[in-house]
Amino acid sequence: MSTVASIAIALLALLHVYILVLEMFMWDKPPGLKAFRMSPEQARATKTLAMNQGLYNGFLAAGLLWALRLGAEGRAIAIFFSACVLVAGVFGALTASRKILWVQGLPGAIALILSLLA
């Protein structure tokens, strides 16, 4: 895998670790409330759902980091997990917030394209 693709995959993994932290641990705290534009009441009512979402984002990060760990042999894994991120971003944009397309989908698409070209 090229250096540029590896950097994109690493940044995408870090983004998903950040999302994991926001959704699992900061959902009902000021950073989570601000990031997801929620009231404290909404956050309390949806906290367990958010923790579940955060866990899934952690799995995406783990897969991306696994691909990086394997180096060139991890290219197919990087492609798969980048595609998963892109699909999650598109689905999130269609069902929850258009912002997700730019925050998650676009970085996933960039990493996917760079991995395909590597």
In this predicted model, what pLDDT tens digit does every residue of 27-73 receive, in sequence order?
A: 999 999 999 999 999 999 999 999 999 999 999 999 999 999 999 99
Residues near 99 by Cβ (< 8 Å), separated by ≥ 6?
93
What is the reported pLDDT for 118?
Answer: 85
What value does the CA radius of gyration of the chain take, rounded to a whole number of Å?
15
Give the pLDDT mean for 74-96.
97
pTM here? 0.92
To the nearest whole number, what is the mean pLDDT of the chain?
96
57 CB neighbour count, 10 Å cutoff = 22
What is the reported pLDDT for 1?
Answer: 82
What is the reported pLDDT for 45?
Answer: 96
Residues near 92 by Cβ (< 8 Å), separated by ≥ 6?
100, 101, 104, 105
Determine the length of the chain: 118
What are the extents of the domains in the chain? 3-117
Q: What string of DSSP letters covers 48-60? A: HHHHHHHHHHHHH
Residue 25 confidence (pLDDT) above 90: yes
Q: Under a CB-based contact definition with an 8 Å cutoff, are residues 72 and 79 in contact?
A: no
Give the pLDDT mean for 93-101.
94
Q: Under a CB-based contact definition with an 8 Å cutoff, are residues 54 and 23 in contact?
A: yes
Q: What percent of the chain has pLDDT over 70?
A: 100
